[in-house]
Structure 1
Amino acid sequence: MKRILAVLACAMLVGCSSMPYRPAQADGAFPGLVDFVATAPGRSVDVLLVHGMCTHDERWVVDTVLQLSSALRAQAQSASAAPMAVAEGIQLFERTITLRQGELRIKALVWSPLTTPLKHQLDYDHSDRLPAVRAKLNARAKDLLMNDCIPDALIYQGVSRDAIQQRMAQAILRATEGAASEAPLLVLSASLGSKILFDTLLRMDVAAQRTIDRIAYLVMAANQIPLLALADQQAVAPGPGARPATPAATAAPGGDSLQAVLRKRRAAATPRAARKLTLVAFSDPNDLLTYTLERERYAPLGVDVVNVLVSNAPTWFGLLERPDHAHGNYLLNPDVARMAACGQPHSARCE
């Protein structure tokens, strides 16, 4: 009898969970990585991976490349036995995915070590160190989101911002050096990593223009640009005689660094920059830290904008999706990897 009740309870729980956006739902068509490889000069493209908030390491690189390789039915090869330290606190991992159509040369930047030392100041608050007892879900949210993830955004938007951008600029130059000017650059970035990337490209001036011109495909997971852009805008007009604050490298008031990068790309007098860029934003509606892209803000800047709604984890009883899973599982979501790799609708080039 107990076994029967247990089975019924499990069945009820399964029935009370759902993943409303699996399969994912896109509001437009877009190409995939495989399509850019097939049409690129020399059948070779560069793919820049930039992670978002929360602690990341080589495991993130391995898992992300594995998902992309699986979607493309290919195998990835490591370009080096160990990561390169391309800037103090930033590591570069290189992988190559070989397809029938050509090669994806992947450069993954792991910037997490820049903020980890400061975040250790919060270790004392970890749930397994406190004498108090937290509810399990609250403990998970506090330990991961509040003590590990959110601090990354606070650190970056604070006094460390310039230093982080300086290190990231060195890393970007190292990751993109030696590439042919006509070779497209495909970028997959997540949450805070997108903001750091765009801010850095803007401050690099002439050195970044070549990189900006080459971007042909921009995939943004867990987009936080609308939220983080608030930190670059004036809430209250400064009083008389106040010294002006150091301006952030963003667009006009009310704008954001993504818009500024797109304007800089459109203004460049190069044939590649004149071509439309494909911008795809993956969002889980239950992700508290993610925002879809407003097409009217970016489409006039020579960009095809597509929003894709995904479910990264089950929704329970129609009430809750675990916040840590909702925000942290984008590039590990098979739907996201498949669509980024093979486009929408599914490319015939994906075997």
Structure 2
Amino acid sequence: MKLIHLFILVCCIPLLNGCASLGKGMMQAVLEQKEEDTRLCQIKGKSFEGMFPLVKDPTKTAKVLMVHGVGSHIPGYSTQLLEGLSDEMSLNRISKITKNIALTDVLDPTKKLGNLRITRSTNEDGSHELLFYELTWSEITDEQKKILAYDNSGEYSFRRAAVNDILKKFTNDTAPDPMIYLGTSHEDILISFAQSFCWMVSKEWADLPASSTSRQVCNPAQLLSAVENMQKNHYAFISHSLGSRIVIDGLQRIARLLGDRQNKRRKMVAEEFVKTFQQLQFPIFMLSNQLPLLQLGRKLPEVTGQHDSYCKADGEHYNSRIVSETSIIAFSDPNDLLSYALPHGFIEQYIDSRLCAHSTNININVATVIDAFGIGFANPLKAHLAYETDKRVIAMLVNGVGNENTSPIIHGRCRILITTDD
């Protein structure tokens, strides 16, 4: 990380008109920053509930599915985020068993589609329960990225400057994933998501298989038994960067399959499941949102621009909706080079109307802006990654915005603009 900072500072030298004391000046700038947190935090859109109302409902279990973004990941990558959420919700009991499911495809059990790691947390008396499902799908793309392994070898890496070598290896690990996702592995990654979702809705903690290295499949036929489970559970999603696209595409794929009665996967799903599914509400917390970027060059969903027709009770196609409501809460740091807010009209034009989606934009500096020599700078890598350590982000994930439970830290440090339907 320090080497990356150094690289960026060196690149700024021409802008500093020959300043002879770059390192000293930058250090002084850092030391002179005020202790008061003045970082940007602006919220605009629909009010939303966080996860805590779902967790503290004594009649239901809260289930959250985490989907990572670019780069190779190993199971357990979201531990810091989970611990932050658990601390905020006073979930101080955790099962000594962490369950891992090696994912595969119901139509091709030979496929290796990643890992689903499930952790159970509760409060002291067990009245508040959270099942946290962590999907690691990068196993699917790791094999293809071996094409670039030669570029990380000593044969090439020693020819680069030290900082450039670090940056090149980072690029080789992360840059290919969006291209692979939009290519031949697109369907496999979405099946990995669908399998994770199937396990989440069809099984309770005690019914989930114990950890095993053998591949296990969640058969859509099991979804009939999921009807009762769905009625006693709450569901939510958290994604990071490319994960935002995977979650939306995964849900739109479900919408497409459920709407096509001739599809062989659809024929495995009971009608009772579909009707129960239509009653669900899904909040999706998108950290480092990339939906606009990854929409480029893609076809539109099957159904767009018909929100009221599908989502209002008196709408013409109300009975053909997929879910009752999808709340998209899009987090982005303006200093992140690879995340974006959702522009006006994006949901209506680019998200399947059957998901009944609406959005809230959260523009927040998770990386500190340093003013050195009159030039503002924020580490773009930290701006992309530092959500899980930001107390304001954790507070919004847990308690939401624009409701009676909104955390004092949000009222004190964020500008809140709640939109209305007027």
User: What TM-score bracket applies, with the shorter chain setting the length?
Assistant: 0.7 to 0.9
Displacement of 1:202 in angstroms is 2.8
Question: Which SS does the other structure have where 1:312 is aligned?
Answer: coil
TM-score calculated relative to the size of structure 1:
0.76
Question: Which of the residues 108, 115, 127 maps onto 2:141?
Answer: 115
Displacement of 1:14 in angstroms is 3.2
Is 1:25 equivalent to 2:48 in the alignment?
no
Displacement of 1:151 in angstroms is 1.0
Q: Which residue of 1 aligns with 2:179?
A: 154
Output the aligned Cα RMSD. Answer: 3.8
| Cα contact 2:141–2:185 (8 A) shared by 1 | no
In 2, the alpha carbon distance for the partners of 1:222 and 1:303 equals 19
Of 12-21 and 178-187, the range deviating more from structure 2? 12-21
Distance 1:119 1:211, change over 3 A: farther
Distance 1:44 1:135, change over 3 A: same
Question: Which of the residues 360, 381, 384 maps onto 1:324?
Answer: 381
| Cα contact 2:307–2:348 (8 A) shared by 1 | no
Question: For 1:87-106, what aligned pairs fall within 5 Å after superposition?
Answer: 87=104, 88-99=112-123, 102-106=128-132
Q: Which has the higher contact order (CA 8 A, sep 6+)?
A: 1
Q: Which residue of 1 aligns with 2:245?
A: 195
Question: Which of the residues 274, 283, 289 maps onto 2:332?
Answer: 283
Q: Which residue of 2 aligns with 1:305?
A: 359
In 1, the alpha carbon distance for the partners of 2:280 and 2:309 equals 14
Is 1:219 equivalent to 2:285 in the alignment?
yes
Is 1:315 equivalent to 2:369 in the alignment?
yes
Distance 1:280 1:22, change over 3 A: same
Flag structure 2 segments of 5+ consecutive residues without an equivalent.
1-22, 105-111, 204-225, 259-268, 409-422
Q: Which residue of 2 aligns with 1:3?
A: none
| Cα contact 1:78–1:96 (8 A) shared by 2 | yes
| Cα contact 1:94–1:107 (8 A) shared by 2 | yes
In 1, the alpha carbon distance for the partners of 2:118 and 2:248 equals 21
Tell me which structure has the larger Cα radius of gyration: 2
Question: Which SS does the other structure have where 1:174 is aligned?
Answer: helix
- In the alignment of these two chains, the number of paired residues is 322
**1:249-300: per-residue Cα shift (whole Å, max 9, x none)?**
x246xx7xxx8999977756399944x4432111111111111112433379
Question: For 1:1-351, what aligned pairs fall within 5 Å after superposition?
Answer: 10-15=27-32, 22=39, 24-28=41-45, 29-38=47-56, 40=57, 42-75=59-92, 77-78=94-95, 80-87=97-104, 88-99=112-123, 102-126=128-152, 130-134=157-161, 136=163, 138-144=164-170, 146-178=171-203, 179=226, 180-182=229-231, 183-204=233-254, 205-206=257-258, 213-233=279-299, 250-251=301-302, 269=319, 273-274=323-324, 276-298=325-347, 302-317=356-371, 318-344=375-401, 348=405
**1:101-131: per-residue Cα shift (whole Å, max 9, x none)?**
6212221111111111222332333497612
Distance 1:8 1:288, change over 3 A: closer
| Cα contact 1:285–1:310 (8 A) shared by 2 | yes
In 2, the alpha carbon distance for the partners of 1:62 and 1:185 equals 19
In 1, the alpha carbon distance for the partners of 2:38 and 2:201 equals 35
Q: Letter of the aligned partner of 2:151 in structure 1?
A: D
Question: Which SS does the other structure have where 1:56 is aligned?
Answer: coil
Q: Which residue of 1 aligns with 2:264?
A: none
Q: Letter of the aligned partner of 2:52 in structure 1?
A: V
Distance 1:113 1:290, change over 3 A: same
| Cα contact 2:152–2:169 (8 A) shared by 1 | yes
| Cα contact 1:190–1:220 (8 A) shared by 2 | yes
Question: Which SS does the other structure have where 1:313 is aligned?
Answer: coil
In 2, the alpha carbon distance for the partners of 1:227 and 1:306 equals 17
| Cα contact 1:32–1:342 (8 A) shared by 2 | yes
Q: Letter of the aligned partner of 2:48 in structure 1?
A: F
TM-score calculated relative to the size of structure 2:
0.65
Q: Letter of the aligned partner of 1:98 in structure 2?
A: T
Of 187-196 and 177-186, the range deviating more from structure 2? 177-186
| Cα contact 1:71–1:342 (8 A) shared by 2 | no
In 2, the alpha carbon distance for the partners of 1:97 and 1:120 equals 37
In 2, the alpha carbon distance for the partners of 1:79 and 1:270 equals 42
Displacement of 1:64 in angstroms is 1.9
Question: Which SS does the other structure have where 1:84 is aligned?
Answer: strand
Distance 1:350 1:313, change over 3 A: closer
Of 68-77 and 127-136, the range deviating more from structure 2? 127-136
Q: Letter of the aligned partner of 1:338 in structure 2?
A: A
| Cα contact 1:76–1:95 (8 A) shared by 2 | no
Q: Letter of the aligned partner of 2:50 in structure 1?
A: G
Displacement of 1:142 in angstroms is 2.9
